[in-house]
Chains A and B, each alone.
Chain A
Amino acid sequence: MPMITATDLVKDFTRTRPVEGRFSTVRTLFTRQQETVRAVDGVTLSVDEGEIVGYLGPNGAGKSTTIKMLTGILVPTSGTVEVAGMVPWLNREANAMNIGVVFGQRTQLWWALPLEESLRLIGRMYRMPEDGYRKQLAMLTELLDMGPFLKTPVRQLSLGQRMRGDLAAAVIYQPPILFLDEPTVGLDVVAKERIRTFIEEINAERNTTVLLTTHDLDDVERLCRRIIIIDQGRVLFDGEAADLKRRYAPTRLVDVTVSGDGIDALAQAVRDLPVGVEVTSHDGMKASFEVAPERVAVSEVIAAISAQAPIVDISVSEREMDGIIREIYEAREVTR
C-alpha cells in the first residue's frame, strides 16, 4: 500500500530579477521584472508502507522543496500529493500527526528549553498519554544514548547530540511516516553510524515508512534498498540501488601482482586475455583489468592469468556507489 504518492509535482518560485550594471542595487528596488525558477519539475513518485527510500540529488536539485511539499509546508504550483491518504497542505494539522520530520539543517527543539522539556512539549502537543510518553522517552533515551544530556538546554548541545534529540522528537509520538532531510549532515563517523542504526531499528520495529535525503552514500548503502535520484527538478532514476549498480557498474575491477620473476609471464598473459576483459593498466609486476561479467566469468580470467604467471596478490572489487552517482550528476541523465 503506498503511504506517499506524488504525481506531476511542480513548484515554481518567483523572485525579482536582479538588475545588472551601474547602480544595480538601487535599480533593483524599482524593477518589476520577475523571473520564475522551477525548483521541482513534474516529479512522480510513490513510496510503500515500510520502505526506506533514499531521495538523492546534487545541491539545488529540488530535494528539499519536494520534501517540503510532501510534508505540507509548501503548496505546490501544480500536481497532487497524498500522504497516508491525505493532502498534506490542506490538512496540515491532521497530517502532522502522521508524519515525523527531521531537518538536519535546523532544529525543531526549543532553543531555550532543556532537551527533556522540549520532548515533553512535543509529547503534549501530539496529545500523548502520560504513561505512553514516559515509555517512549525511556526507550529513546536508551536507544539514542541521550541520558547524559537530557537536562541540557538545547542551545548548549553539540551537533551530534542535537541531531539525536531531533530524531527522538520526530519519532516519540510514533508517526507511521518519517521524512528525514539530511539527518547525518555534518556529523562524525560514529554519530552517523548511531543515527543509521537508529533509523534501521525504528523501521524494523514499527514498519515506519522513511523518505530520506542525504549526500552521504554510506547512508544509502546501509539503509535504502530503493533510491530515487533527481536533478533540476526531474526524476532521473527510480529503482533498486542494486539495479543502479548493475546498470552503471556491471564491471569488476581485478588487480594482480606477480612475483619478480613473473614479469615476462604477466606480459604474455596480458596479451592472451579472453574476450570481455580490458586492461586498464600494466606496469611490470602489476596489472589491472576491467571484467564484464556477462561476457566472461571473473574466475575464468583469474585462472587464465595464474596458468601463466605466478600471482602473489590479487583483489576483485566493484565500483563504489559515489563514483556512479557522481557520473550521473555530471551526465545529468540516466541511460536506460
Chain B
Amino acid sequence: MTALDLRNPGLRDIFRMGVRRVYAYRIFTYLGVVVILLQLLLMRAIWQAVYGDQQSVDGVPIETMVTFLTVTALLGFMLRPTISEEIHRRIDQGQVAVDMVRPVGFVRQMIALSVGEAAGRWLGLVLVVPGLLVIGSLAPPSPGALLVFLLSLIMAYVVSMLIWLLVGLSGFWLIDASGMKSIVGVVSSFLGGSTIPLWFMPEPLRIVVELLPFQAIYFLPASIYVEQAQGSGMWRALGIQAFWTVALWLVAAWTWRRAQNRLVVQGG
C-alpha cells in the first residue's frame, strides 16, 4: 500500500474534489461549527462548576483547562470520520468495483479525497476561531510550543484518519458498518481525553487510555498546546503519536490486503 505516493495527477484532482466538497455541503459545515461551539459552551460550564471557587486543581489552573477544552473542540472540528463514511458508501453501492479498476489504488483514492476534505475544513477554520475565542480561550503558547503543536497536530490528523480508515475497511466484513462508526465516534472522543483530560482520570481508567491510540488524537496535542506536556513529557507525547502513526499504518495495510480477498460487490 504505497498510499503516500501523491504523484499521480488524478489524485490531486480527487484531493481538490475533497476540498470543494466541504463548500458544496456548506450547511453541513456550518452546523458542525454550531455543534462544536455549543459543546464547548457546555464543557466550559461544567468545568467551571467543578472548579468552583478554586483557581487551580492538581496544579492545573482554570484558564489552562478552558484553553485545553477549546483546543480539543477545534480538533474535533478538524478531525472528521469522512473517510469511513465514503468507504462505507462506496462498498454499499458497489461503487468499489469501479474504484478498483483504476490505475490508482482504492485506499489512495480514499485518502486523497479525505485529506482534501480535511484541507477544506482547515481553510474553514476562519469560521470557528472567532466563536472559539468568545466562548473559550486560545491564549497562544510560546512560539516553541506552537511549532511542536503543529507537528503534533499533523500526527493527530494522520492517527485519526487511519483509525477512520480502519473503521471504513471494516465495511468489507460488516454489511452495515454504521454502528461501528457511532461506537468509535463516542469512544474516541471520551477515551481520547477530549472532555476529561488524562491528568484528571482515575488511575485504572488512565492506564487503559494510555494503551489506546485515541489520546494521540486529542489529549496529546492539546496538552502540548497548553504546555502541560513540556520537556521530556513533550517528547514522550510526540513519540507516542509517532508510534501510533506507524502501527496503525501497518494494521491498515494488512487489513486492506485481507479486505481485497473478501470483497463482495453489492448489486451484481
Q: Which residues of A contact B (CB under 8 A)?
A: 13, 64, 68, 71-75, 89, 92-94, 96-97, 99, 101, 103, 105-108, 110, 112-113, 120-122, 124-127
- Is B268 a contact of A113 with CB atoms below 8 Å? no
Mind listing 18 A-B residue pairs with CB under 8 Å? A64-B268, A68-B97, A71-B101, A73-B97, A92-B100, A92-B101, A94-B103, A96-B101, A101-B101, A105-B267, A106-B94, A106-B95, A106-B267, A108-B98, A112-B21, A122-B10, A125-B11, A125-B104
- B140-148, B244-252, B257-265: which one contacts chain A? B257-265
- Kindly state whether residue B232 has any CB partner on chain A within 8 Å: no
**Measured CA separation A126–B100 after assembly (Å):** 14
Q: Residue B8 at the A interface, CB < 8 A?
A: yes
Cα(A13)–Cα(B265), bound, Å: 11
Known A103-B98, A127-B9; contact A93-B267, beta-carbon cutoff 8 A: no
CA gap between A51 and B268 in the complex, in Å: 25
Which A residues are CB-close (under 8 A) to B24?
A: 112
Residues of A within 8 A of B98 (CB): 101, 103, 106-108
Tell me, in angstroms, the Cα distance from A93 to B3 when the chains sit together. Answer: 12
Contacts of A101 in B (CB 8 A): 98, 101
**How many A-B contacts if CB must be within 8 Å?**
76
Closest 7 CB pairs of A and B: A125-B10, A124-B9, A96-B103, A108-B98, A121-B13, A124-B10, A73-B100
* Known A106-B93, A106-B97, A112-B24; contact A127-B14, beta-carbon cutoff 8 A: no
The chain B residue sitting closest to A120, CB to CB, is B13
Given the complex of chains A and B, what is the CA–CA distance between A127 and B104 in angstroms?
A: 11
| A92 and B105 contacting across the interface, CB-CB below 8 Å | yes
Contact with A along B84-128 (1 / 0, CB 8 A): 000000000111011011111100000000000000000000000
Are B265 and A121 closer than 8 Å at their CB atoms? no
Quick check: A126 and B10 within 8 Å, CB to CB? yes
- Say yes or no: B268 contacts A105, CB within 8 Å: yes
Which residue of B has the minimal Cβ distance to A166?
Answer: B98
Chain A neighbourhood of B265, CB < 8 A: 64, 68, 73-74
Shortest beta-carbon distance from A331 to chain B in Å: 24
- Complex contacts, A122 vs chain B, CB 8 Å: 10
Chain B residues with CB below 8 A from A110, complex form:
17
Residues of A with C-beta under 8 A to B93: 106
Residues of B within 8 A of A126 (CB): 10, 103
The reply to whether A124 and B13 contact each other, CB–CB distance below 8 Å, is yes
> Which residue on B lies nearest to A94, using beta carbons?
B103
Most buried by A among B93, B97, B104, B267: B97
Q: A112-B21, A125-B104 provided; 7 other pairs, C-beta below 8 A?
A: A72-B101, A73-B101, A99-B101, A106-B98, A124-B9, A125-B8, A125-B103
In the bound complex, how far is the Cα of B9 from the Cα of A34, in angstroms? Answer: 44
Which has the most chain A C-beta neighbours within 10 Å: B14, B21, B100, B260?
B100
- By a CB distance below 8 angstroms, the chain A residues around B9 are 124-125, 127
The verdict on A127 contacting B101 (CB below 8 Å), with A64-B268, A68-B265, A74-B263 known, is: no
Most chain A CB neighbours (cut-off 10 Å) among B13, B14, B95, B105:
B13
Q: How far is the CB of B102 from chain A (nearest CB, A)?
A: 6
Q: Which of A96, A108, A125 is packed against the most chain B CB atoms within 10 Å?
A: A125
Task: Report Cα–Cα, A13/B261, bound state, in Å.
Answer: 11
Per the bound structure, the CA–CA distance linking A113 and B98 in Å amounts to 16
